Amino acid sequence: MTIVIETKDLCRYFGDSEETMVKAADHVNIEIEKGEFTAIIGPSGSGKTTVLHLMGGLDNPTSGEVELSGKNIAKMSGGELCDLRRDHIGFIFQSYNLIPVLSAEENIEYIMLLQGVKTSERKKRVKEMLALVGLSGLENRRPGKLSGGQQQRVAIARAMASRPDIILADEPTANLDSKTGIALLDVMKELNEAHDMTFVFSTHDEKIMSRASRLIHMRDGKVELDERK
């Protein structure tokens, strides 16, 4: 068993006084193993997105630890954290977060460029990723010329191209119609099974829940139930 990411007594509180304090994450302990397809679920305000952002180093905990491959990211400097996110974590957001002036190919290639991957290897990976997500032939289109589903496919390809240890997906189907969402989830599930890629979702989408091999239920900042299928 290889633990990719682990939270230890992870807390994230908002507010200055006891009366106004919101405990978005309250002593959360989660271990994510390599190759898992996990969904963190719960109602709005349950803390699922907060936990995902803390796992990805997009927010700092009030207390507790987040360990990625044995390294405590909560104690890293800004530069160290940027390098770690670049090299070890893939992100998929509901708003896609593509760079509008870059083509699909260039968006996918961008992180590898920052990593210093050689040109020939970058081009090879981009071609492979475009084929995996069903976008071969659309590599030169900018985001504005792609549908929402196609943009999210580019975002998935971008997240995977850098070969991260873990991919964190925050409500990735929220802005998609049901048919497109199902198609994208099937792509991610296939990549998970074929390439042992580790996915963690923050979601309330039943389609993701039905495909997940593990469901972590959250309520009021706490893990209420952790169930494996």
Secondary structure of 114-160 as H, E, C letters: HHCCCHHHHHHHHHHHHHHCCCCCCCCCCHHHCCHHHHHHHHHHHHH
The candidate with the shortest Cα–Cα distance to 32, out of 60, 8, 62, is: 8
How far apart are alpha carbons 20 and 42 in whole angstroms? 22
In this model, does residue 1 exceed pLDDT 80? no
Mean pLDDT, rounded, for 146-165? 89
Q: Who contacts 124 (Cβ-Cβ below 8 Å, separation ≥6)?
A: none
Query: What are the residue boundaries of the structural domains of the chain, listed by start?
Result: 3-228
In this model, does residue 174 exceed pLDDT 90? no
Q: What is the pLDDT of residue 95?
A: 85
The candidate with the shortest Cα–Cα distance to 57, out of 42, 70, 44, 75, is: 75
Given pLDDT bands bounded at 50, 70 and 90, which one contains residue 52? Answer: very high
How far apart are alpha carbons 213 and 37 in whole angstroms? 6
Higher-confidence residue of 158 and 195: namely 158
Given pLDDT bands bounded at 50, 70 and 90, which one contains residue 116? Answer: very high
Topology of domain 3-228, per CATH?
Rossmann fold (3.40.50)
pTM for the whole structure: 0.90
